[in-house]
């Protein structure tokens, strides 16, 4: 066998083994992403927010920017809920106040559990959006952490702040309590944060630009936890 050929063969083989054994994936979830045209602006008493109206678009933007940055060399997986929040709030332990159905038995949550247990997830980001007329309206995005995962939130906000000094971008940080998706990730020893994006005016270029900058910085920050190499 000529040595040039041999070299190529080993190169191919190690690349293959790396993909098989060391592949790491970023997981994004959207438990409140499903809206329909009759209900998009309604609120419901238990949760106050019927659906996260810009999450679908935000998840797509994450995927677009991620694959653009890494040219498909890194992995991202998105699991978006396609059922109404009024039927079951997938981000809580129970679907609703009747406390009969546990969300972890629902398909959307089982899909997440399967990913967490089988595909070597290095970070989970649970993506939400909030109406712009709420008390958090001054934030373009805020981070929720819980279950001893504060250091990730502190580190992310520091990273974004350092990279947005000359902009009007404003990020918040809060402690959450009952967010069951990031709780499940934590139980399985996977770092996880919940990100709430402001439901921006899609005609407002400054707000769109700010959101794009934030998503790009979140991606740059989170891939440090990818240990494919």
Map the footprint of Zn ion across residues 43-82, applying CB under 5 A: 52
Q: Is 186 in the site for Zn ion (CB under 5 A)?
A: no
CB of 174 to Zn ion, least distance (A): 14
- Closest listed residue to residue 80, CA positions, set 125, 25, 38: 125
> How many other CB atoms are found less than 10 A from the CB of residue 227?
9
Query: Smallest distance, Å, CB 134 to Zn ion?
Result: 12
Q: Cα dist. 29→133, 153, 206 in Å?
A: 24, 17, 26
Q: Which is nearer to Zn ion, 176 or 191 (CB)?
A: 176
From 1-9, 25-33, 67-75, 212-220, span contacting Zn ion (CB under 5 A): 25-33
Phi and psi for 211 in degrees, rounded to 5? -65, -40
Binding of Zn ion by 92 (CB under 5 A): no
- DSSP string covering 110-132: HHHHHHHHHS-EEEEEEEEEE-T
Token readout for 187 is 């139980």
Please tell me whether residue 128 binds Zn ion under the rule CB under 5 A.
Answer: yes
Shortest distance, position 17 Cβ to Zn ion, whole Å: 40
Where along the sequence are the contacts to Zn ion (CB under 5 A)?
A: 32, 52, 128
């Amino acid at each position: 066998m000529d040595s040039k050929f041999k070299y190529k063969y080993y190169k191919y083989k190690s690349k293959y083994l790396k993909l098989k054994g060391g592949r790491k994936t970023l997981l994004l979830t959207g438990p409140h992403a499903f809206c329909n045209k009759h209900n998009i602006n309604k609120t419901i008493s238990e949760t106050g927010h019927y659906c996260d109206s810009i999450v679908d678009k935000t998840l797509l933007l994450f995927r677009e920017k991620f694959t653009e940055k890494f040219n498909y060399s890194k992995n991202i997986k998105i699991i978006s809920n396609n059922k109404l929040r009024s039927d079951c709030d997938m981000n809580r332990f129970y679907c609703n106040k009747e406390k009969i159905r546990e969300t972890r038995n629902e398909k959307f949550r089982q899909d997440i559990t399967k990913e967490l247990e089988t595909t070597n997830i290095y970070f989970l980001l649970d993506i939400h959006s909030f109406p712009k007329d709420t008390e958090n309206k001054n934030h373009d995005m805020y981070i929720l952490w819980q279950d001893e995962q504060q250091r990730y939130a502190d580190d992310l906000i520091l990273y974004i702040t350092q990279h947005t000094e000359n902009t009007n971008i404003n990020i918040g940080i809060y402690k959450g309590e009952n967010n069951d998706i990031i709780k499940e990730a934590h139980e399985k020893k996977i770092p996880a944060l919940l990100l709430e994006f402001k439901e921006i005016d899609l005609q407002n270029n400054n707000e769109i630009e700010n959101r794009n900058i934030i998503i790009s910085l979140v991606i740059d920050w989170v891939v440090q936890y990818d240990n494919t190499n």
